[in-house]
Chains A and B, each alone.
Chain A
């Protein structure tokens, strides 16, 4: 089961410097991130761990250019992400980033394969919807609407949608948060497969510590800062994980 894969330590994908984020939710100002310094290497599978409110989603959103930092810089490969305008950020997301959300965020009026096609139409070198769905083992469900799919199936469609364009990075925000153990594991297997076979740099947010087993690297966050950042020397396959 376990395959060899390459992590290019010398090839840095993300390089965050002194990143802080303050935002106001209604009448409250939240200091979500302060002084984050971080490098993510190409091909790495990183698990971002931490209790809710620790800032992990904010960090992921900033890396994925869904949100902008209040202070600090983020470089993607050689380019400064937030140096550019809104249009460039859209292009960046379109070309380089795949997202997987906790609540799947599928378009209810589109079938599984159409949800994937939504993304492939935007990219220059995508796989077909069928390939992407095949990769997550859902080829036989391709004509089903989201409402006709189980939670785990919906999440796998969302992974297929994220990877179909062959992104450089796959950002997953609590991908198993809404799923039970069994379906959660199928979803994680799909993510692992993508990381292995396509070499996609993957960051998974979770507050489920059991998942860390599958990671190359485990970053723990607390109160908007990085609490620990360790390499996982005893990496196991998803099949061996249990929680």
Chain B
């Protein structure tokens, strides 16, 4: 081995603890990169395989019952490749022991398209057999062999559960009235077509179409032509896969994961590069004489620069390899957590060799980038100049000198050091601040969710119980429910699917008719102004308006996708800011007028006395028209479960790495300070300072640097959180960013705690060091 290479190895071993912490910081960045990317890629891949294995349809349409002879006409529509006709119907599922009424969507089984993946049991053979969606079956402990009771067309019927299945169409299972899945009270039930024909009296008929597009299809015109075919049968508008609730929700979720998978590792690696820069600059400045000696004996600048590049490269590659291993481990753990949540069959960790190479390359790149600037200073060093002792730094009085008069000498030393080397002080503080920053970005998502819930359920949707009906009901039903002892207040809402059109753009959304002076559900406009639903015009969701380029005062076309399919032109009277869901709003009577029905509603919001809620819920179960009941507490629970699971995975991993970085930064800063100042501190010892006093000078400087770092970290944390937050634009969510004091507090406390640990190590290091002997050898 070349002698200079021996020096490389010895240098790394000599800086053991620093090398380890630097390698760990690089490892954290790479691990984050590998873990989130492999988890993301594996999920993406599992979804694609699932979609293609189950022959997932690309187009969807539903209507009122229509004759099956239409199939030929639909098949002949240009752009349609293959088609299946189905029966889809929502009905009440009766679980006697369950407080809340449950409902299910009955779907007829199709072959060769939207096939089921049976995870347990088998497909139905007889008309009494049913296959359940997995989440619903698990939530209600319905394994094959059990029975369940459904109310089909008013008749109670027992069905035998024979299988549990996953479906590409229903990865997420939503009801039209709720923005959240509720697997306990709503699921999918697949049965043979004949069984559903019999149950819903639909022999020879269908009310749902799924199809695939041919390769050269003009999808828009195909959808239009299909709409035309179904027009006479109350077609609700055909749409492609992008608009399928499960798929679009999944797509948005994946977008969010992707942001995390790409942005977080970049931030981590950036921090790692920054730390490497600080550390390598100081290592190199410490080796000033050695570098000059190497130059003096004839080593070229390039060789010397390469020597330091080698040191950094080795440390970075050890970090990268460690990071790759950690990344695979954590990626697997993350995927396991996602797996509980997404439920794709064949979900397994895909380790892409290219990604591994990328991880290694990125690690090296950031490692070398971090050292590059400090290595440049090696080249500038004049060998003769380096042989002379460094020019003593010109200390002078600092701005705060007057205030310092009363300070003890140690205090003055601390302050002068900090002020006379402002660049170094700022760099150290910035280094420490990255630890606060990472903690903030690691945990702020919890605040975002809390914010969202608070705004949604305290400001916008203030009912404690929400009742959804299968169809519109009259005010008699409201009166009947209002009679219940625990009901304090009721409000009926009319929800109806519509399509809005502005110039060539269109979008299907839910129109909500609010009663005059609605108290329980409120609409908020810009600047949190409460908006009143108009009697003639319409209020529109801000994101929908933005996408379609609609502004206040503009006239848009509104098509009712139910009943009379009326098309009317309305004026947009205001823009609504929403958190969950995207809708349009009018006064309820106006909606009824549009529908040509009397004053009716299909959603009832209640304010109840929570103590008596159980009695109420039992009573509600006996009312046949009710499709579902949601309680505020139940919804919150579902929401927390839904969001916290997926976030927990990333947050946990982030927290581990953030702590490593925090320790890496503070410890390194302390160690470097110690080695840089060994000569000076040794002199102090000779002058009679105690080790504790020497420690207090170093610790004092670090404390000031840490204190300066804390607010900087909070600010940069907010900044990056904001960037990450706004880069995720999802269909349904529009949450303001508001980071809580708790989040900042945790970030600050972690950094302070790791600082204290570093201080303790520093203290013992000073205690064990023979500072006086350092003076004897000037090396």
Which residues of A come within 8 Å of B, CB atoms? 25-27, 58, 61, 64, 66-67, 86-87, 90-91, 93-95, 97-99, 101, 103, 105-110, 114-115, 117-119, 121-123, 146-147, 161-162, 173
A99: contacting residue among B2, B296, B300, B778, CB under 8 A: B296
| Distance of A103 Cα from B7 Cα, bound (Å) | 20
In-complex Cβ contact of B387 among A90, A97, A101 (8 A): A101
Closest Cβ neighbor of B10 among chain A residues: A109
The CA-CA distance from A184 to B596 in the complex, in Å, is 113
B-side contacts of A94, CB under 8 Å:
297-299
Chain B residues with CB below 8 A from A98, complex form: 297
Contacts of B289 in A (CB 8 A): 103, 105
Check B391 against A90 for contact (C-beta < 8 Å).
no
Q: For A147, list chain B residues within 8 Å (CB).
A: 777, 779
| B431 contacts the other chain (CB 8 A) | no
Determine the chain B residues whose CB is within 8 A of the CB of A90 once the complex forms: 295, 298-301
Shortest beta-carbon contacts, A-B, top 8: A94-B298, A109-B10, A67-B384, A66-B384, A61-B384, A105-B293, A117-B3, A93-B298
Is residue B687 contacting chain A, with contact meaning CB distance below 8 A?
A: no
Interface of B is mostly: helix
Q: B79 at the A/B interface (Cβ < 8 Å)?
A: no
Task: Please determine whether A91 and B298 come into contact, CB atoms closer than 8 angstroms.
Answer: yes
CB nearest to B386 among chain A residues: A66
**Bound complex: CA of A105 vs CA of B301, how far in Å?**
18
Pick the contact of A118: B4, B10, B779 (CB < 8 A). B4
CA distance A118 to B298 in the complex (A): 10
Digitize B507-528: 1 where CB-to-A-CB distance is under 8 Å, 0 elsewhere.
0000000000000000000000
A93 to B384, Cβ gap below 8 A?
no
CA distance A117 to B394 in the complex (A): 39
CB pair A66–B11 under 8 Å, yes or no, is: no
Distance, CA A137 to CA B595, complexed state (A): 109
Please give the distance in Å from B464's CB to the nearest CB on chain A.
72
A66–B296 Cα distance when bound, in Å, is 6
Residues of B within 8 A of A114 (CB): 3, 6-7
By the criterion CB–CB under 8 Å, are B391 and A26 in contact? yes
- Is there contact, CB below 8 Å, between A109 and B298? no
Q: Does B290 contact A (CB under 8 A)?
A: yes
Give A147 to B770 CA distance when docked, in angstroms: 14
CB distance from B342 to the nearest CB of A (A): 53
Within B349-405, the residues touching A (CB, 8 Å) are: 382-385, 387, 391, 394
Residues of chain B contacted by A118 (CB below 8 angstroms): 3-4, 7, 294, 297
B292-320: which have CB < 8 Å to A? 292-301
| Min CB gap B317→A, angstroms | 20
Q: Which of B11, B297, B387 is in CB contact (< 8 Å) with A93?
A: B297
Among B292, B297, B394, B779, the most chain A Cβ lie within 10 Å of the Cβ of B297
Asked whether any CB of chain A lies closer than 8 Å to the CB of B204, the reply is no
Contact A121 B7 (CB under 8 A): no
Instruction: Using CB atoms, name the residue of chain A closest to B8.
Output: A109
Which of A25, A94, A101, A118 counts the most B-chain CB atoms under 10 A from its CB? A118
Contacting residues, chain A, for B777 (C-beta < 8 A): 147
Are A107 and B387 also in contact (CB < 8 A) when A26-B394, A91-B298 are? no
Contact status A107-B391, CB under 8 Å: no
Judge whether A101 and B293 touch: CB under 8 Å.
Answer: yes
Q: Does B14 sit within 8 A of A, measured CB to CB?
A: yes
Supply 5 A–B pairs (Cβ within 8 Å), ascending by A: A66-B296, A67-B385, A93-B296, A105-B292, A118-B7
Question: Once the chains are docked, how many angstroms separate the CA of A27 from the CA of B396?
Answer: 14
Chain A residue contacts of B394, Cβ below 8 A: 26-27
- A67, A91, A106, A173: the one contacting B382 at CB < 8 Å is A67
A122-B299 contact, Cβ under 8 Å, with A25-B391, A110-B7, A114-B3 = yes
Nearest-CB residue, chain B, relative to A108: B779
